[in-house]
Structure 1
């Protein structure tokens, strides 16, 4: 599991990490590894308020870094790539005729037969590409070795970058680095960043899935995920609360905050769900931290086959987004969380891309996180004034239905126009007529009638409006 709390530990804090680590950081020398180069322990990797103690990363051999290749020719059975042995690349199904995805796991995690393997299979299902899972599980450690793991990402990223360089040198010198899309979760986001820093002019894209906060927040650009690391850098933030372990601040060209970025639907509430007992507190905190932190992976995975359900809107704040102030998508466009964003790679424009922040809402259940936002406007006519509720049932051509409250236990007047923003778990394509219903309470008035004179439904992606009737 890629969490920041071990099976035995309390919530992680930087102070705790430093206490565990300080005894080891007495005298640290620069380490050099073959073609990967040297890794000095000094500034900016130490000697700062965020990283006071120096440390050296482990070697590729100590971490047993493995690169597992899946392609349309071998979606189930991975092949191993070794950048030190070019023939190991030539003798696989790796092809420079298609783009390449590289996926990096985080702390206390692994790539083989894990979510990394599953994500590669899903990507290959929708796209003809090479997909490489970067396994550094022996260097990914746990809570007690977190700082060592954080330093190890430098070598992990360098190892992956060396593979890219070897492909250019030994396989196909015309294979453009823009063909690479790097995806990393937690510490893996910073490992992907390290790869991007070493490839020039740039790799095509990096997607950071809730990039790790401890030991990376407020560090120089050389240390953490940064917009300069790829032609396009997208960061997805899902665990940014005080107890969370993901970076809250924008760190990419496109920073996406599902559900505001701190508490994901379906995860325990940090206030309501924390029990009074110490064991219960530890267990709940472990689940709370892990749940929000892992959601970035789940959202990314589901978006591969269902990208239209993860449309994110540029907005100045989550509160403004919830109020509908940023709906529909502006002329500058929205962004899709996850895999399906189409981006043209132009490394010379890297510094000129407008950095923007996006928001969206998701569902609560695994495999049903996709959610579509609509603006619903209803003009109603009521014959008598009374307390009551009004509902609209929407039907799609695919047979899906949802009932949305327009007014709940409110005063129903003679006529009114009401606008609400709804999120539903299916896309309304070829919308069939909507159904209006109402109920009055607590007193029934004989002869009272209510109806909808007009219903309009606006979709977010292009602002198109459907009218009924």
Structure 2
């Protein structure tokens, strides 16, 4: 792992020479999270002293990444536009990564679950917006859809706004389960789950750097409900995009809302499929609520017993669309097995209508 870390009046600036990051995220900096700091990894850039740029091996021809942390008890606000004039750093080589409150502070490309409280619904000039950069990509991982509470912002605030897993209830964070554990473990159980949800945006971005070419793919869709029915798995006309660092810089008059599913840990990418099923039978057949599973077999492997999410009761003579995700690429589909499980009476009624 090698990178140069600079401090400007305790504001963290990171210039990535060779970008690798520990997935444990235990690294820490003064004024930030807990943990040891290796001071031989850092040097200081001081405004008004251009020689400090040379001593830190700063290269104006390289891309420069500014990482801005979220809310802390104390904060310093420093104007850093002097980099443009003092070091001839072109703006197109500047990439800001703002997390939580830091996303609004950045007001620039690369926003990781921007803070919601006091920013939701306010005018664009008071929060992160597409007007502040050539391209603004936003990852929403903990929005108001989560039990009516959130730390992240729900409204679209970038050129491309990506909502992994609908923007709430991230796999592996178990926010619902944490509510049940409050009686035994206290508020700490909920605090850890909330942090997991909010910080998932950071992990998704790191995943796009560590696993280049294998980052998650998001799809433009009118709503999360439509996406959960597998209705939007199209890539023509910029209808899909890469999550994270390699996102295509698509700029349109209105924000593009995109959705994706992920795993609960790195690598986060899953593969999305649309499955359409037509149930044949008598028109007056009673509605049923079966358990549906499907197994997919392809040229590269198989994915078995995948549960289908039923959005409504199943009735006869109607086609239903489902979203199916697999954790590995099974290749070209060769065969599928579909299993329907229901109570004996309902199943007999269904079978009798087919004969």
Change (3 A) 1:379 1:321: closer
Q: Indicate whether 1:259 and 2:165 are aligned.
A: yes
In the TM superposition, residue 402 of structure 1 has moved relative to its aligned partner by: 4.3
**TM-score, normalised to structure 2's length?**
0.71
Cα deviations by residue, 1:61-112 (Å, 9 ceiling, x for unpaired):
4xx33434341399996342414221221233433333222222223xxxxx
Which residue of structure 2 aligns with residue 434 of structure 1? 335
Residue 301 of structure 1 is aligned with which of 201, 206, 220?
206
Distance, in Å, in 1 between the alignment partners of 2:86 and 2:96 is 17
**TM-score, normalised to structure 1's length?**
0.55
Q: CA RMSD in A?
A: 4.0
Q: How many residues align?
A: 306
1:164-175 to 2 correspondence within 5 Å?
164-168=84-88, 175=89
Distance, in Å, in 1 between the alignment partners of 2:229 and 2:165 is 13
- The 8 Å contact of residues 395 and 402 in structure 1, kept in 2 or not, is answered as no
Change (3 A) 1:316 1:93: same
Which residue of structure 2 aligns with residue 289 of structure 1? 194
Which residue of structure 1 aligns with residue 152 of structure 2? 246
Cα deviations by residue, 1:103-141 (Å, 9 ceiling, x for unpaired):
22223xxxxxxxxxxxxxxxxxxxxxxxxxxxxxxxx32
Which residue of structure 2 aligns with residue 370 of structure 1? 269
- The 8 Å contact of residues 392 and 406 in structure 1, kept in 2 or not, is answered as no
What SS does the corresponding residue of 1:232 show, helix, strand or coil?
coil
What SS does the corresponding residue of 1:421 show, helix, strand or coil?
strand
- The 8 Å contact of residues 111 and 139 in structure 2, kept in 1 or not, is answered as yes
Which residue of structure 1 aligns with residue 231 of structure 2? 325
Which residue of structure 2 aligns with residue 100 of structure 1? 64
Distance, in Å, in 1 between the alignment partners of 2:167 and 2:199 is 12
Which residue of structure 1 aligns with residue 13 of structure 2? 67
Q: Indicate whether 1:217 and 2:120 are aligned.
A: yes
Distance, in Å, in 1 between the alignment partners of 2:217 and 2:20 is 31
- The 8 Å contact of residues 212 and 245 in structure 1, kept in 2 or not, is answered as yes
In the TM superposition, residue 342 of structure 1 has moved relative to its aligned partner by: 3.0
Cα deviations by residue, 1:375-425 (Å, 9 ceiling, x for unpaired):
2457999xxxxx99774332453x5644436799x99x9x99875321111
Change (3 A) 1:98 1:422: same
Higher Cα radius of gyration: 1
Q: Indicate whether 1:78 and 2:24 are aligned.
A: no
In structure 1, stretches of 5+ residues that fail to align are 1-59, 108-139, 142-147, 169-174, 197-205, 345-349, 382-386, 446-469
Distance, in Å, in 1 between the alignment partners of 2:272 and 2:227 is 11
- The 8 Å contact of residues 396 and 428 in structure 1, kept in 2 or not, is answered as yes
Residue 90 of structure 1 is aligned with which of 20, 29, 54?
54
Distance, in Å, in 2 between the alignment partners of 1:368 and 1:342 is 20
Distance, in Å, in 2 between the alignment partners of 1:188 and 1:182 is 10
Which residue of structure 1 aligns with residue 37 of structure 2? none
Residue 325 of structure 2 is aligned with which of 397, 400, 423?
423
Change (3 A) 1:288 1:389: closer
Distance, in Å, in 1 between the alignment partners of 2:155 and 2:59 is 37
Which residue of structure 2 aligns with residue 8 of structure 1? none
Distance, in Å, in 1 between the alignment partners of 2:163 and 2:203 is 14
